[in-house]
Amino acid sequence: MSDVPALLVALPILASVLALLVGQWRPRAAWAVAFLGTAVQVGAAGLLAARVLGGETVRYAVGDFAAPYGIELVVDGLSASVALLVAVVAFGVLLYSRVAGPREPAFHAQYLLLVAGLSGMSVTGDVFNLYVFLEITGLAAYALVASGESGRAAVGALKYLLIGTVGASLYLLGVGYAFIVTGTLNMADMAGTLGSEIAYTHPAVLTAFALVVTGLAVKSAVFPLHTWQPEAYASAPDGVSAFISALVSTVSAYAIARVIVSVFTVEFFRANPVAQDLVVGIAGLSVVAGSVLAVTQTEVKRMLAYSSVSQFGLVVAAFAIATERAVTGGTVHLIGHAVMKGGLFLAAGAVAAATGARYVSEYRGLASRRPFLAGAVAVLALAMVGVPPAVGFVGKWYIALAAVEAGWWFIAAVILSSTLLTLAYFARLVERMYFASAPTAAAGTADAVGATPDAAVADGSGETAEAERPGTPDRVTPGVVALVVAVAVLSVALGFAATDFAQLLRPTLPELLAP
């Protein structure tokens, strides 16, 4: 069992190489390799989570070189939850890609490489190796976004590459400052050195914190560092959009949380309350700004992308408040958002394949044409709003209570306002599906080639939709519909399980938040 943390990283890398090699001989076999690799990944992550969610921490020294000189993988309740999330979502989206594509061996190799990077970010106990896995994740994500057939996908990937490189460079520069003052890269050792030998108000420590958090905020798409995300999400193939929206920014937000609680610790905020004010304030601004921008969108995938800007702001705010209830709420919302947003992108892709609809106006009458898909979209949308008993409500409730208890009334007000704004943009979608008449055959043909009023409106990037949309919708298999419906049901089931999960996470929190 002690070798399982290494397996979470090594397995998808080996499967990636194998998928690429096997795919040169028999292209269809690459998917089978990816399927087997992600299935084993789910099992390994599940076994590890079952062990550590009772309060135990598993440590693995790479190459038997003991920390702090060697590379250490550390799995506690928080990191195990994220690693399990990565494995489960990767497995689910892979099932979707079997039908929706892409299907090339190179895609499956890149997909597995992204799983390896995300898993490594989840379990690493070393700030430099967090950078290494961050770069693996970024490079694989850039390639996957660019795998779309349109020029728009290439532009989205290029923007993602340029801005993502800036974010990673800022993070690495911050790690350099932290190493200069502490002489170590191990997270636990760095935290101990900062707490015992170096003042938290030391200029180099403040600089390291600012650079590290800013770099990871770029990767998490926190406003105003979010500009890469909407185009990357909207232009990528539907399966890729679902995967990166569910996990890439999610794990980057987890990395912010890990750096705050495991490296700088809550004592840093106590010594530098202005730093905490800035992080919470910017996170709150991201919540509101993301929601406002989402309201203005007409393209469904761009609307969902801006919604993520809002939701990750809420997660960052929770971890910056840094109380047990806030961290619990942030973790619940982080996991819940990955499931809900990944499901919404899967549903958007399925609707586009079934009807050609990619704009809010084109969803009219969807409930009469595709009742199961419309029902799944409605459930996931209401879960994102925070309607109980869905998991979206539970995460927001924990964070709101923690904000009030800690005296952050500003965040409580932000949660309320963002909930109303989230209702505003998802209500438009639900209204179109259930209360607008379905288009006629002639209108449907016009829709398919982009003749609706909304389709002719620029999507915010200065481009119109006509050149990017398919002329003939594809068929959607019952398996894809069943997968989307299952995710919708899961978003509600997780709401009932969230309290039990919070109890399992509780033994981990005192160690994380200890002075």
Contact in structure between 330 and 319 (CB atoms under 8 Å): yes
Strands 58-61 and 72-75: antiparallel
* pLDDT (0 to 100) of residue 475: 62
Q: What is the pLDDT of residue 449?
A: 32
The list of the chain residues with pLDDT below 70 reads: 1, 67, 101, 197, 440-475, 514-515
Measured distance CA(58)–CA(48) in Å, rounded: 9
Count of domains in the chain?
Answer: 1
How much is the pTM? 0.87
Q: d(Cα 402, Cα 90) in Å, to the nearest integer?
A: 31
Q: Is residue 43 part of a domain?
A: yes
Q: How far is CA 177 from CA 118, 134, 206, 257, 259, in A?
A: 25, 18, 9, 19, 14
Q: Is residue 97 part of a domain?
A: yes
pLDDT at residue 376 in the model = 92
Write the pLDDT tens digit of every residue in 54-94.
Answer: 777 888 888 777 767 778 888 888 889 999 999 999 998 88
Nearest to 92 by CA among 270, 408, 340: 340
Q: Which two tokens stand for residue 19?
A: 């998928």
For residue 440, the model assigns a pLDDT of 64
Q: In whole angstroms, how far apart are CA 120 and each of 123, 128, 129, 130, 440?
A: 5, 12, 8, 7, 50
* Tens-place pLDDT, residues 223-267: 888 888 888 888 888 888 888 888 888 898 899 988 988 888 888
Instruction: For residue 471, tell me if it sits in a domain.
Output: no
What backbone phi and psi angles, to 5 degrees, belong to 225? -100, 25
Q: Please give the radius of gyration of the chain, using alpha carbons only, rounded to the nearest integer.
A: 22
Let me know if residue 357 belongs to a domain.
yes
Please check whether residue 461 lies inside any domain of the structure. no
Percent composition of the chain: helix, strand, coil (DSSP 3-state, to 5): 80, 5, 20
Residue 464 belongs to a domain: no
Positive/negative CA dihedral, 49, 209, 396, 345: negative
Q: 26: domain range? A: 4-451+476-513
Decide if 446 contacts 471 (C-beta within 8 A): no
Residue-wise pLDDT for 475-489, tens only, equals 677 888 888 999 999
* 460 domain-assigned: no
Residue 360 lies in a domain: yes
**pLDDT for the residue 212:** 93
pLDDT in the model for residue 221: 83
Question: Within 10 A of 197 (CB to CB), how many other CB atoms are there?
Answer: 10
User: What tokens were used for 122?
Assistant: 């989840």
